[in-house]
Structure 1
Amino acid sequence: MTSSYGLSGRAALVTGGTRGIGRAVAEGLAAAGALVCVTGRDAAEVRRTAAGLGGIGLAGDVAGPGHAEAVTELVLAEFGRLDLLVNNAATNQPYGPLTEVDADAWRRAFAVNVEAPLRLVQCAWRAWMREHGGSVVNVCTEGAAHVGPHVGAYGTSKAALLHLTRQLAGELAPGVRVNSVSPGLVRTEMARFVWEPGEAEVAAGLPLGRIGEPDDVARAVLWLASDAARWITGADLLVDGGTRVRAASTAGAYAVHDRLRGHRAAAGDP
């Protein structure tokens, strides 16, 4: 993706930056002139992605002990600054009704989707942003606005991330802006089990007539991260192809989740 946003000389950290939305964001930031560091769980993928971006990377569990501190130290050591933080890494597990959710799996969802972004913001704030300013963008989900079968842990954790975004925006102003994007259904590996069984059917139900691409979300992230959005903080930008404005949106969301449950059951998934 080419970009008109001038981010030359700024340093950016993108978690979960080796695939899907995170990869598109990292590529967009690099195209805009930023120095980019990516994280991911697969060391080989991190190395390949970082090399392709002309940047750096660190493999590991975003919620692991010391990971936030380690990647922040790496960015400061290599780039000398940390201006932009994109909290993209996430887990959509555990899948199932909350009445049956395992306590450890529930805690894992919040560790990855809520606590890790907070820790990274804390590290970025202490290491650079408190004195020099910066911009944070959290990747949430359109689904945090409604309920649906079997995605309660994911949706609840992402709803918490939305509130965390607003809370941090208030606490870190005026020097640091904190915003979020909420994608709808996007063509990523994490969402493959939703769109692959019946993409045409799903796309036909959206006002814009297609599911999203990672680049669609990346463009929104870059805009919020850049000075083009310099008077915006505490905002959540929907990037959902019109999902939320379609007729009977709540019923439509249930219909998609019900169809998804049928596909998973047929495949033998829990």
Structure 2
Amino acid sequence: MSTAESPAGTESLAGKVALVTGASRGIGLAAAGALRDRGAQVVITSRSEDRAKEAARELGAGVTGFGAHATDEEAARACVEHTLATHGRLDILVNNAGTNPAYGPVIDQDHARFAKTMDVNLWAPILWTSLAVKAWMGEHGGAVVNTASIGGLSVAQDVGIYHVSKAALIHLTKQLALELGPKVRVNAVAPGIVRTRLAEALWQEHEGRVAGATPLGRIGEPGDIAEAVAFLAGDGARWITGETLVIDGGQLLAGGVLDNSPEQGS
């Protein structure tokens, strides 16, 4: 599909430029593809420049890769500057990079694992949003979409630090929406259990059980989340800000599907 076209029944993002962090695979990669399919020019990041460029080649025309760890301020600034120098604008930011090294009871975690989780899942969205707003969006407008998790709306054994980071990201989404309007809209998606590498411990050995406990009868696919990201980034969501869209096939309704879940989300 050419970058001038959009999938049938979807709005065009032609002329827009998007930046997606943590997009070498999974939800980030799918979100970049969905934005590209709607006509946007897309820059994707990964900790590894090689992986970022490989993912960009996988997506094809209209997508470029840039090596930047989500919490590296110098690399983040360079990426935003590269985007503006290459495309002349930055309309959409998807803060997708996420991690969860802190597994087990909260009181058993050390500071290093706590700090890494909060730095990637919470500080990075603040950093990249700040750079994007100050470089372009604050004057010209734009849309930010954060990848949260249904973990930020629930509790489960052994993933407390991760869930706290995502709950904070949901609150941060509201705070930034308040501070950055009317020029910039800020929303979030909250995925359930999705077929990604980060979440594979949740479904790889027991996909049937998870699907059976999900009202819509299956685990999520990255494309399910990507479609929602593209919607929130576009003008169809022009009067939506500060919201978190749950995309979980009804898993929160089922409750127990999250028990003993080591990881969720982006």
Classify the TM-score, shorter chain: over 0.9
Q: Deviations over 1:101-144 (max 9, x none)?
A: 11011011111001010011100111000110000000000111
Maintained 8 Å contact 2:71/2:119: yes
Question: 1:53: Cα distance to partner?
Answer: 3.2
| 1:128 to 2:117 alignment | no
Equivalent residue for 2:17, pick from 11, 22, 31: 11
Q: Deviations over 1:44-83 (max 9, x none)?
A: 2211222333222211311124122111111111111000
Corresponding position of 2:60: 53
| 1:30 to 2:36 alignment | yes
Equivalent residue for 2:50, pick from 44, 50, 53: 44
Q: Secondary structure at the match of 1:220?
A: helix
Corresponding position of 2:165: 157
Question: 1:253: Cα distance to partner?
Answer: 4.3
Bigger mean CA deviation after superposition, 50-59 or 141-150: 50-59
Equivalent positions of 1:1-270 (< 5 A) are 3=7, 4-51=10-57, 52-54=59-61, 55-246=63-254, 249=255, 252-253=256-257, 256-257=259-260
Q: Give 5+ residue unaligned stretches, structure 1.
A: 262-270
Separation of aligned partners in 1, 2:18 and 2:69: 19
Question: 1:5: Cα distance to partner?
Answer: 2.1
Report the RMSD for the aligned CA atoms in angstroms: 1.4
Q: Secondary structure at the match of 1:233?
A: coil
Q: Give 5+ residue unaligned stretches, structure 2.
A: none
Identity %: 46
Q: Secondary structure at the match of 1:61?
A: coil
Q: Secondary structure at the match of 2:202?
A: helix
* Amino acid paired to 1:214: P
Maintained 8 Å contact 1:30/1:53: no
Separation of aligned partners in 2, 1:240 and 1:227: 24
TM superposition outliers: structure 1 runs of 4+ over 6 Å: none
Maintained 8 Å contact 1:36/1:53: no
Separation of aligned partners in 1, 2:146 and 2:95: 5
Separation of aligned partners in 1, 2:81 and 2:234: 23
Bigger mean CA deviation after superposition, 186-195 or 48-57: 48-57
Separation of aligned partners in 1, 2:142 and 2:68: 24
